[in-house]
Structure 1
Amino acid sequence: MSAIAMRAPLWLRLLRDPRAALGLGLVALVLLGALAAPLLPGAETPDFMATLAAPDATHWLGTDDLGRDTLSRILAGARVSLLVGLCSVGAALLLGGTIGLVAGFFGGWVDMVLMRLMDVLLAFPGILLALGITAALGASVTNTVIAIAVVNLPVLARVARGQALALRELDYVKAQRALGFAPLTILWRAVLPNALSPILVQASVLLAASIITESYLSFLGLGVQPPTPSWGNMLRDAIGFLDQAPWLAWFPGLAIFLTVLGFNLLGDGLRDRLDPRD
């Protein structure tokens, strides 16, 4: 990548990449939908005169078995999915990034203890670990965030550790050590800024995985609880009406697909744009 291109704003560099631009557009669409959710009534209000209505001019995406507007519920579900995804990844980024950077920078027994703890979490399949945590703590939005954050924690810790291991051997880090700077000062001023880009790229990809995990948990009844709309519990409710009203499953499934696709494409674009070797 040329020096002039690298000086361009990140959003402009993303727009020059068709895949990243598509991902950015899909993510922006989901964000706008989530912001517009309070403007559309009917997400939690039953209307027994309009149960299982097909998509029409009044209800663009139809209604469910209680007469609730599907479009309103999908937009409200977007708020839940984004809230859970952002909070869980943010918590994992803060804690996992700190653990990984400290382990990689200091090495020795600190590295061994911290990373063996992360290996314990990695030994469990992510969805099973999330199921176990929510089953133990109870089904709620807060506990769903905690469960997904724990699943994401070792992934971000390992990425941060790898960056710290590479950066601590560079000349400018060794020079700061020779000048007598405190280890935490070097970690904060020299290592963290240069390790941040790969960690953020990994976090953007984990957002997509977190949204899928939240949908899994809600589908199984261990995530967001009714009457709060969630794409997962909308899919669960649609199972009994696939013959009568298949659109009840189509539209939440499509929302999950487009959101996950958007974050994955955006993550790929960020990786390509922030890679100094490109």
Structure 2
Amino acid sequence: MSAAMLAPGQRSSWWRLLREPRSLLGVALVFLVLLAAVLGPAVSGYAPAEPDFLATLAAPSTTHLLGTDDLGRDVLSRILEGARVSLLVGLSSVAAALLLGTPIGLVAGYVGGWTDGTLMRCMDVLLAFPGILLALGITAALGASLPVTVIAIAAVNLPVLARVARGQALALRNLDFVSAERALGFGEVSILLRCVLPNALSPILVQASLLLASSIITESYLSFLGLGVQPPTPSWGNMLHDAVGFLDQAVWLAWFPGAAIFLTVLGFNLLGDALRDRLDPRD
């Protein structure tokens, strides 16, 4: 795999990938979400938590491009701020799962035996629960807050990345180049870090990119149910929750955060699929 990634045609291969409509759409959507998260409320000119009781439930207009909510808060500024929250939770939870799950899976697959059995049975305990129920249980037990939301979603992602890493370690541990390293006298830890990890990294990163989308959806679930990001911090999930009581008066309160979730998840899924196609060693 590593040799393929260093092939002379790598740059042109990436360029061809970016010219595909699916990949280009994914990159464009992710870029827009990142831009929204960086610029934030500066684009709309309104503070996301600042109420205006003289402009409650105002329809989209030139003053408030996406309207206002029941407290007169600008919906656009809250969606832009919600992009920061969603990306923060998604990236933090996936990064935490990546840092924990990758070494667990690699050690389990490379060492084998009782080590493999013990570590993977622990991962199976987490996998035994549906992801959203596991996240709900953790947030209900530890209390609803932004850090707890990150921990809960990381716990959902952890066994997935650990199993991917384990599968790669099992496939690589007896290959010729690994055996050659052993014959040269290198230690097992050195072989694991120098040979197995670099060659296992591509599918792990692809899986991590796909988990970003599911992490954003899970955060929206939790916030919608009141167990995720807490008000007054804007989150697309708690914006949808607040919109439920006003669907007959201000349907845009549900349209715009719902569209933000849809487009963000679509972008990360398309980007993950593109990375998988590019980095799949079987292609």
- Identify the TM-score tier after normalising by the shorter chain: over 0.9
Paired residue for 2:272, among 257, 264, 267?
A: 267
Paired residue for 2:19, among 9, 16, 21?
A: 16
**1:4 Cα deviation after fit:** 4.8
1:25 match: 28
Paired residue for 1:90, among 91, 95, 102?
A: 95
Structure 2 Cα separation of the partners of residues 141 and 13 of structure 1: 39
Structure 2 Cα separation of the partners of residues 201 and 227 of structure 1: 34
**Does the alignment pair 1:231 with 2:236?**
yes
**Does the alignment pair 1:37 with 2:40?**
yes
- Secondary structure in 1 matching 2:47: coil
The answer to whether the 8 A contact 2:41-2:48 is kept is no
Aligned residues: 277
1:256 match: 261
Structure 1 Cα separation of the partners of residues 247 and 141 of structure 2: 32
TM-score by length of 1: 0.97
Q: Which runs of 5+ in 2 are unaligned?
A: none
- Secondary structure in 1 matching 2:204: helix
1:191 match: 196
Aligned residue identity for 2:213: A
Identity across matched positions, percent: 77
Structure 1 Cα separation of the partners of residues 212 and 166 of structure 2: 20
Structure 1 Cα separation of the partners of residues 122 and 182 of structure 2: 28
Paired residue for 1:6, among 4, 10, 13?
A: 10
The answer to whether the 8 A contact 1:17-1:269 is kept is no
TM-score by length of 2: 0.95
The answer to whether the 8 A contact 1:13-1:273 is kept is no
Structure 1 Cα separation of the partners of residues 137 and 100 of structure 2: 21
Q: Deviations over 1:46-79 (max 9, x none)?
A: 0001100000001000000000000000000000
**1:13 Cα deviation after fit:** 4.4
Q: Which runs of 5+ in 1 are unaligned?
A: none
Q: Which runs of 4 or more aligned residues in structure 1 lie more than 6 Å from their structure 2 counterparts after TM superposition?
A: none
The answer to whether the 8 A contact 2:224-2:238 is kept is yes
- Secondary structure in 1 matching 2:222: helix
**Does the alignment pair 1:62 with 2:67?**
yes
**Does the alignment pair 1:154 with 2:159?**
yes
Root mean square deviation of aligned Cα: 1.4
Aligned residue identity for 2:37: A
